Chain A
Amino acid sequence: MTSPSQARATIVPAVLERHAAELLDVWTQEQTTAGLTRGAAGDLRARSTEFLRLLQQATAETSGVGDLTAVHGAPFARVREFLGALSRQRAAEGATPSETAMFVFSLKRPLFVLLRREAADADRLADELWVATELVDRLGLLTTEAYQRGREEVIARQQQDMLELSTPVVKLWDGILALPMIGTLDSARTQVVMETLLQRIVETGAEVAIIDITGVPTVDTLTAQHLLKTVTAARLMGADCIISGIRPQIAQTIVHLGVDLADVTTKATLADAFRTALARTMQSVAPARHAR
């Protein structure tokens, strides 16, 4: 895939190496002017020094223009790591994506100044500026992508929290757990429900788990499959499951679908299921006697 133009040499790596100190000075100056000084000034300098060092190492490993701008390639692994960590941190600090990307983009002007001075002639200069632009732009995109990923992780975590919130496993009695399910049993939520229930079975050593589906509006084949899998997994952990709250219209529909719940204990109401669970665990709840 390497065309002659991609293999062409560029002075960018050499400039980064030979003029590192000067570049660092001008760049940190640039960042300060642009107001990118969040955190201590020492921070800014340390951060910039580290980035230039990694960038110089990366570009030194590349050969030719095509390789130099391939920021997703192996030589740039450390650079990507650095920018990724920085962008996530900035995202967490509440910086905007453009503020985050400015860290890289502010490197453009200082780099151009050096190239203008070092390039042999006007033709070469045009080529070098083009390469430098490509390189900086792509690194800037990396920061934006990492920032975006950081945000998505935050959102995913929040969604996960909500999933867990909506599936409380409650202890009804010694050895008896109940899981009242409410709403749509889509695959993501059912996965969480199943894991939570199994985990609580282990923690509490419960013998019976009641899954109440009174609040589930539709039981289709996917829901049924999830329920069956949960029952089977619970059984492997030593707990019996009882499914309760199967309303008449749902029962009819399940039969028409052809789903076989013969192996599963089902009860019309949570109260019925509780009574069965007490019997299975050899326990009973008696009405209170008159005061002594």
Chain B
Amino acid sequence: MSVVRAETVPVRVESDVVVVRQTVRQWATSLGFSLVDQTKLVTAASELARNTVVYGGGGSLTLEALEDGARRGLRLRFADEGPGIPDLALALTDGYTTGGGLGLGLSGARRLSNEFDLDSAPGKGTRVTIARWR
């Protein structure tokens, strides 16, 4: 499997979340994802971007276009240097929120993706990586 294209965009303020959604939609469209898959990717990205801004104090998103034989995919890596998540399983529980949300962003993003990885610890920031294959 290889990364054929990559780009990093800032995810610092609320208005960046809008830019993230637009950028992810553009990439997903140009990679030939169906409308449903585009919507899933954009929605997952929206969740993770907002978490990066709200809880992570801002960070970045790296988009990667993937190629694996005949398969095409899109990987999104969100990273922040915020406080980190003390209990990963708890954070991934439906309905768990420390910010008065629905508590469905992280778990929802996992369900909307083919691959999901959450790497975080107190004081170590948070990295969430998702991928979807076409």
Contact at B43–A253, with CB atoms within 8 Å? Answer: yes
Which residue in chain B gives the minimum CB-CB distance to A220?
Answer: B46
What separation, in Å, do the CA atoms of A257 and B18 have in the docked complex? 19
A250 at the interface (CB under 8 A from B): yes
A interface SS class: helix
Q: Which of B21, B38, B39 has the most CB of A within 10 A?
A: B39
Q: Could you tell me the dominant secondary structure of chain B's interface residues? A: helix
- A222 and B14 alpha carbons, distance in the complex (Å): 12
A250-261 interface bits toward B, Cβ cutoff 8 Å, 1 = contact, 0 = none = 101100111100
- For chain A, give the interface size range: 20 to 34
Q: Is the CB of B36 within 8 A of A248?
A: yes
The count of chain B contact residues (Cβ–Cβ below 8 Å) is 24
Give chain A residues whose Cβ lies under 8 Å from the Cβ of B40. 252-253, 256
Asked whether, in the complex, the Cβ of A252 is within 8 Å of the Cβ of B39, the reply is yes
- In the assembled complex, the Cα of A219 lies from the Cα of B46 at a distance in Å of 9
Contacts of B111 in A (CB 8 A): 256-258
Q: Which A36-58 residues have C-beta < 8 A from chain B?
A: none
Bound-complex Cα distance A222 to B101 (A): 7
Known: A186-B14, A257-B111. Contact between A221 and B105, CB under 8 A?
yes
- In this complex, which of B35, B40, B104 has the most chain A Cβ atoms within 10 angstroms of its Cβ? B104
- If A220-B46, A222-B101, A259-B104 touch, whether A186 touches B18 (CB-CB below 8 Å) is yes
B39, A220: Cβ atoms under 8 Å?
no
Question: Contact between A252 and B36 (Cβ–Cβ < 8 Å)?
Answer: yes
A257 & B21 in contact (Cβ 8 Å cutoff): no
Known: A256-B111, A257-B43, A258-B94. A221 touches B104 (CB 8 A): yes
Minimum CB distance partner of B109 in chain A: A257
Question: What are 7 A-to-B residue pairs whose CB atoms are below 8 Å?
Answer: A218-B39, A221-B102, A221-B104, A222-B101, A249-B35, A250-B39, A253-B40
Interface residues of A (CB under 8 A from B): 184, 186-187, 217-222, 224-225, 248-250, 252-253, 256-259
Given A219-B43, A221-B108, A256-B108: 12 more A-B contacts, CB < 8 Å = A186-B14, A187-B14, A217-B25, A217-B42, A218-B42, A220-B50, A221-B102, A224-B102, A253-B36, A257-B43, A257-B112, A258-B94
